[in-house]
Amino acid sequence: MQADFTKLDRAFNPRCLVVVGDKKESNFMWLNSQSTFKGKLYSVQIAPEEIEGIKALGVKNYTSLLDIPEPVDLAIVAVPRAIAPRVLEDCIRKEVAAAHFFTSGFAETDTEEGKKLERWLTEKAEQANFHLIGPNCMGIFNPGLGVRHNREQYAGVSGTVGFISQSGTHATTFVHEGHLQGVDVNKSVSFGNGIVLDSADYLDYFGRDPEIKVIGMYLEGVRDGQRFFRVLREVAARKPVVIWKGGRTEEGKRATASHTGSLAVSQAIWDAAVRQCGAIKVTRLEEIIDTIKALVYLAPVYGNRVAVTGGAGGPSVAIADVVAEAGLRLPLLTQESYDELATFFTLVGGGYRNPVDTGNVNRREMKRILEILERDANIDNLVLLVTARFGTNEQLERDVALMTGIRERSPKPVMAILSHYFSPEAVEEAGNIIQKFQGGGVPTFITFERGARALRNALDYYSLKNSLNPR
Amino acid sequence: MQADFTKLDRAFNPRCLVVVGDKKESNFMWLNSQSTFKGKLYSVQIAPEEIEGIKALGVKNYTSLLDIPEPVDLAIVAVPRAIAPRVLEDCIRKEVAAAHFFTSGFAETDTEEGKKLERWLTEKAEQANFHLIGPNCMGIFNPGLGVRHNREQYAGVSGTVGFISQSGTHATTFVHEGHLQGVDVNKSVSFGNGIVLDSADYLDYFGRDPEIKVIGMYLEGVRDGQRFFRVLREVAARKPVVIWKGGRTEEGKRATASHTGSLAVSQAIWDAAVRQCGAIKVTRLEEIIDTIKALVYLAPVYGNRVAVTGGAGGPSVAIADVVAEAGLRLPLLTQESYDELATFFTLVGGGYRNPVDTGNVNRREMKRILEILERDANIDNLVLLVTARFGTNEQLERDVALMTGIRERSPKPVMAILSHYFSPEAVEEAGNIIQKFQGGGVPTFITFERGARALRNALDYYSLKNSLNPR
């Protein structure tokens, strides 16, 4: 089916949203999730005992979708699977722009009944050119308009990231964890079994959405590989696309079969195709968050030479190993830089070859150190190490001002890596530090490894882009 | 120099401890750190303006070490490097059992003066058979006796881990982060430049300490490789030794030279030698904490076949990939297990091939599921996925009781992996969950990857041990 982007525009930016089949047993999760929704919200439910609860929420209920007195942009369908066909017929008759089927129990169960029902829904929707999202998924999230998956999600702010996920849990986790780390979504969609609209449709759509600057995807498989990679190549030429593929191993592939009924593909062929399209492959939730963070905040990364400063002796060794193991380099600085450092660096308990170790007294000279690294011709990227729960506020404000200054005036990518203990106090402070640096455009990563990997992935993206579409 | 373990016993379990040269500028960090010390604490300081502050702390000060009216078990020396030789002479004359030199500015600075001073200290100490710890280090931590490096460290509890570190920061971070995650130290030592007593001495000593069950080491190099590996082989035959080597890459090696002045060794030769001794290699702070946690809590790991349960669809795919990529297997269960699961498992939105996906309704059947996996002949190890901030307390208590029960009655290793958001509330709850599971002997890891890696490392340890010293 050819997706109609006018319909998707209505679904992703609804003015009128209807929840079909929400119930007390699930604590009216879908209606409650839309408490932040800025448009018109209706319910469709026929069970009298449920209608009571829906009225108590202040939501107008109808016993049929067809009775809704205005055009419907998005229907969220949470009925038992046996009723799904009837609801789909109503959606088609009512000319709903798109319906998200939360309902599960189809091909992913590997049962005859589930597969048969799924075939029926697919054929019916395709005949009617109906835009069905799912089934077996969490659907659309648009925080700017307050369209949500659950009540923990944020609303009222909107970022620049589009996220497309075959897993509802991964979509929800990406949205929440990303937000905690300053990576905000503009729109996301969890599409589960993807029986009518598939990943390629959402990718194509997000690729043309001017509000979306970076796209992340969690996929377990694609229906039409040729089409997917054609769209991927087109979109990746315009904006970064980062893809986390589940089912890379035999074990993982078996799990995807139970989960979304995806067919196995060879991982090597997949990886090569992703790369040929200019998209970036990642393998973890943490890595997709970090890589998107790097692509949202960092200046374009064109070199692999990194300078690190701000740490004590042991951490300087650790970050040097981690950066090198991520395929980046920590070169020696220029002789001019060493000559200048030698004029003020206190050589007790720390070196300045690179990393420039400032564990103790030398941290006071951070302004001069960062300026030397900014000028150094051997250095492409700057990394500042910071620690939650040990610095003073004054020092933090100074570090943020220095790094933000470089971010503004220099083409060299700058980032911070934040060490923190696994305690509520440290994580609270870490959250504040991340906000401060990122507020100034300096991405901040929460382990050495995650920071190094994100920088490396950003470098891969710009290198690939350059080789596929030379500047 | 041949270490005298009677002297090390006195130093690691001091009854009388003296801090030499503490001062206001550092906020009397060494005296303040010993506020938890249970034995006798004295200060040596000659500057009148400092003596004021020391008196205010309630610590008796002498102007010479020789005036202390009783035998001294451990001296902590924090004087400027130029004064270090004189203090060492006093320590020798006073027959102090051992002295920890916090003082830095020696060979690690790569200056003639630093190297000369270090040679002088080395020769002097060796001539007198004096047990010098350091210099350029944080020295001894014994939480049971309240001997600490800093005021943030815990005291009054004591674990079963010995930690030996060439880096003060890594020692301190291991101690604190480990404690937050339920890995408690019995004794640790940071030995910096290790000019007299080296890693092999501490390893030998901890190897014979009956209170220490697992040893962790952070090393940047060893002085006498032959001796180190001989001791390592002896100790690793008796208890697990986990080694994190800094300076694995060219970049890291250069950083170690500035840090502790360690000579570079070939990483491949090092790795092979560590393995031949039956010790376990790790490459990150996180990994050394997790691997030690696994070795402290898990039943001996003898098989690579893992069953996973407790997750939703997407996370089940993710953990399957991560477990397989760590070199472990997620096999199919036996037919009997599938037959039994089929009698009660609700097949909507989740599969039970392995992982046994219990995202939704099936979580209520956790008792039956875990019992099936415990019995299953295809399964060596059990992993339960849990999530902070989403489960009810009731569910958590039930999960803990079930897992603890298996831990007590079954030889199969059992562990939990805890997903959590990067928020203070989630980390607080995660801390409580870790404590509950680990209180019942079930180690709990904070990412899929860290849990899988720790299990794999524990398997490597027991496999190596078996092949080197067959049961």
The shortest CB-CB distance from A314 to any of B168, B313, B423 is to: B168
Q: What is the share, in percent, of chain B residues with pLDDT greater than 90?
A: 86
Instruction: Kindly list the distances between the CA atom of residue B361 and the CA atoms of B203, B333, B419, in Å, as whole numbers in the listed order.
Output: 51, 21, 19
pLDDT tens-digit readout, A274-294: 999 999 999 999 999 999 999
Contact criterion met (CB below 8 Å) for A258 and B329: no
- SS3 state of residue B241: strand
Distance CA A371, CA A402 (A): 9
pLDDT band, very low/low/confident/very high, at A172 (cuts 50, 70, 90): very high
Size of interface A-B (CB pairs under 8 A): 231
B324–A285: do the CB atoms touch at under 8 Å? Answer: no
pLDDT band at A391 (very low <50, low <70, confident <90, very high): low
The rounded distance, in Å, linking the Cα atoms of B201 and A414 is 43
* Separation CA A122–CA A136 (nearest Å): 13
Per-residue confidence (pLDDT) for residue B109, from 0 to 100 = 79
Q: Are B40 and B70 in contact (CB under 8 A)?
A: yes
Mean pLDDT of A354-363: 83
Consecutive H or E run containing A87: helix A84-94
Pairwise CA distance, residues B280 & B462, whole Å: 10
Which of A34-43, B292-301, B359-368 shows the lowest per-residue confidence on average (mean pLDDT)? B359-368
> Residue B170 corresponds to which tokens in the numbers above?
């890594």
Interatomic CA distance for residues A404 and B78, integer angstroms: 37
Q: Which residues of B touch A391 (CB under 8 A)?
A: none
For residue B287, pLDDT beyond 90: yes
Amino acid at A19: V
Three-state SS for A415? Answer: strand
Beta bridge partners of B17: B41, B74
Digit-coded pLDDT (tens) for B329-338: 999 999 999 9
Q: CA dist B304 to B239, B300, B334, B455, Å? A: 21, 12, 16, 9
pLDDT at B468 exceeding the cut of 90: no
Q: Is residue B422 less than 8 Å (CB to CB) from chain A?
A: yes
- Kindly report the nearest CA distance between residue A69 and chain B, in angstroms: 34
CB B134 within 8 A of CB B100: yes
Q: Which residues of A touch B149 (CB under 8 A)?
A: none
Residue B308 has pLDDT above 70, yes or no: yes
Q: What would the DSSP string read from start to end of A194-207?
A: -SSS-HHHHHHHHH
The minimum CA-CA distance between B192 and chain A, rounded to whole Å, is 10
The answer to whether the CB of A107 falls within 8 A of the CB of A114 is yes
Q: Which residues of B touch A312 (CB under 8 A)?
A: 167-169
Minimal Cα distance from A448: which residue of B?
B284
Tokens representing A249 are 């191993």
Model confidence at A36, pLDDT cuts 50, 70, 90, reads very high
**Which of A169, A180, A448 lies nearest to residue B423, judging by beta carbons?**
A180
A:229-288 residues touching chain B, CB 8 A cutoff: 246-252, 254-260, 283-286
- Residue B255 C-alpha, separation from nearest chain A C-alpha, in angstroms: 5
Give the per-residue pLDDT at B111. Answer: 85
As a whole number of angstroms, the distance between CA B187 and CA A306 comes to: 37
Q: Minimal Cα distance from B111: which residue of A?
A: A347
Q: Which DSSP string do the residues of A354-395 spell out, in sequence order?
A: SSB--TTGGGGGHHHHHHHHHH-TT-SEEEEEEETTTS-HHH
Determine which helix (DSSP H) or strand (DSSP E) holds B349, and give its type and residue range.
Answer: none
Whether residue B167 lies within 8 A of chain A, CB to CB, comes out as: yes
Token readout for B204 is 């030998």
A350 versus A430: the higher-pLDDT residue is: A430
Q: CA-to-CA distance for A18 and A320, rounded, in angstroms?
A: 54
Question: Stretch B136-153: mean pLDDT, rounded?
Answer: 95
Ranked by mean pLDDT, the top range of A102-106, A160-164, B101-105 is: A160-164
Q: Which of B412, B365, B419 is nearest to B391 (CA)?
A: B419
**Under 8 Å between Cβ of A173 and B423:** no
A49-57: average pLDDT: 96
Task: Give B127's DSSP letter.
Answer: H
Decide if B437 touches A, using CB distance below 8 A.
no
Using a CB–CB cutoff of 8 Å, tell me whether A151 touches chain B: no
CA distance A243 to chain B (A): 14
Tell me which residue in A317, A422, A446 faces B256 most closely, judged by beta carbons. Answer: A317
Q: Helices B285-297 and B168-180 meet at what angle, rounded to 10?
A: 50
From A381-385, B88-92, B314-318, the region with the lowest mean pLDDT? B314-318
| pLDDT for B348 | 60
Q: Kindly tell me if the per-residue pLDDT of A237 is higher than 60.
A: yes
Residue for token digits 């039409």? A224
Nearest-neighbour CA in chain B from A67: distance (Å): 31
For residue A38, give both structure tokens.
Answer: 């800025």
d(CA A390, CA A408): 27
Sorting pLDDT into bands at 50, 70 and 90, what band is B352? confident
Q: Which of B321, B362, B387, B421 to mutate to test the interface with A (most CBs of A within 10 A)?
A: B321
pLDDT for B349 beyond 60: no
Instruction: Say yes or no: A422 contacts chain B, CB-CB below 8 A.
Output: yes
Using the Cβ of B443 and the Cβ atoms of chain A, whether some distance falls under 8 Å is answered with: no
Closest residue of chain B to A169, computed from CA coordinates: B314
Would you call B444 an interface residue with chain A, using a CB distance cutoff of 8 Å?
no
Separation in Å, CA A346 to CA A1, A351, B36, B83, B206: 68, 9, 33, 18, 36
- Asked if the C-beta of B169 comes within 8 angstroms of chain A's C-beta atoms, the answer is yes
Hey, is the C-beta of A113 within 8 angstroms of any chain B C-beta? no
Alpha carbon distance B275, B237 (integer Å): 12
Distances (CA, A) of A157 to A147, A177, A396, B419, B421: 12, 15, 26, 25, 19
Predicted confidence (pLDDT) at residue A470 exceeds the cutoff of 80: no
Please tell me the predicted confidence (pLDDT) of residue B350.
Answer: 63
A261 falls in which pLDDT band (50, 70, 90)? low
What average pLDDT does range A154-162 have in this prediction?
97
Which chain B residue shows the shortest CA-CA distance from A445?
Answer: B422
**Which tokens sit at B402?**
């079930």
Residue B392 has pLDDT above 90, yes or no: no
The number of beta carbons lying within 10 Å of the beta carbon of residue B82 is 11
**Residue range B59-83: average pLDDT?**
97
**Distance in angstroms (rounded) separating the CA atoms of residues B407 and A421:** 28
Q: How far is B471 from chain A (nearest CA, A)?
A: 32
The overall average pLDDT reported for chain A is 94
**Calpha distance A387→A403 (Å, rounded):** 15
Report chain B's mean pLDDT, rounded to a whole number. 94
Cα–Cα distances in angstroms (integers) from residue B210 to residues A174, B171, B292, in the given order: 46, 21, 17
> What is residue A468's predicted lDDT score, i.e. its pLDDT?
85
pLDDT of A137 strictly over 70: yes
A427/B427 CB distance under 8 A = yes
Residue range B27-58, pLDDT digits in tens: 999 999 999 999 999 999 999 999 999 999 99
Burial class of residue B237, CB neighbours in 10 A (0-12, 13-18, 19+): middle
**Interfacial A residues in 452-471 facing B (CB < 8 Å):** none
Question: Is B246 in contact with A317 (Cβ distance < 8 A)?
Answer: yes
How many other CB atoms sit within 10 Å of the CB of residue B86?
11
* Domains, chain A, ordered by start: 1-135 (3.40.50.720), 137-297 (3.40.50.261), 299-468 (3.40.50.261)
Dihedrals φ, ψ of A44, to 5°? Answer: -125, 120
What strands lie across the sheet with B381-387, from one edge to the other?
A: B306-309, B381-387, B414-419, B444-445
How close is the nearest chain A Cα to the Cα of B211, in Å? Answer: 26
Instruction: Tell me which chain A residue has its CA closest to the CA of residue B326.
Output: A249
With an 8 Å Cβ cutoff, are B258 and A353 in contact?
A: yes
Strand duo A444-445 + A414-419: pairing: parallel
- CB contact under 8 Å between B314 and A169, yes or no, is yes
C-alpha to C-alpha distance for A343 and A321, rounded to whole angstroms: 28
Cβ contact, residue pair A320, B108, below 8 Å: no
Q: For residue A315, which residues of chain B lie inside 8 Å, CB to CB?
A: 169-170
The strand pair at A306-309 and B74-77 is best described as unpaired
Pick from B307, B419, B166, B389: nearest CA to A314:
B166
Q: Is B335 helix (H, G, I), strand (E, B) or coil?
A: helix
Candidates B73, B180, B176, B196; CA nearest to B188 is B176
CB contact under 8 A, B424 and A428: yes
pLDDT band of residue B107 (cuts 50, 70, 90) is confident
Which single residue is written with the structure tokens 């604190």? B176
Mean pLDDT of A157-161: 97
Yes or no, beta carbons of B313 and A446 under 8 Å apart: no
* pLDDT given for residue A290 in this prediction: 98
Least confident of A179-193, A258-272, B176-190, B445-459: A258-272
- Residue B389's pLDDT band, with cuts at 50, 70 and 90, is confident
Cα–Cα separations (whole angstroms), residue A421 to A128, B43, B185: 55, 32, 17
- Mind telling me how many Å the CA of A55 is from chain B's nearest CA? 27
Q: Does position B416 have pLDDT exceeding 80, yes or no?
A: yes
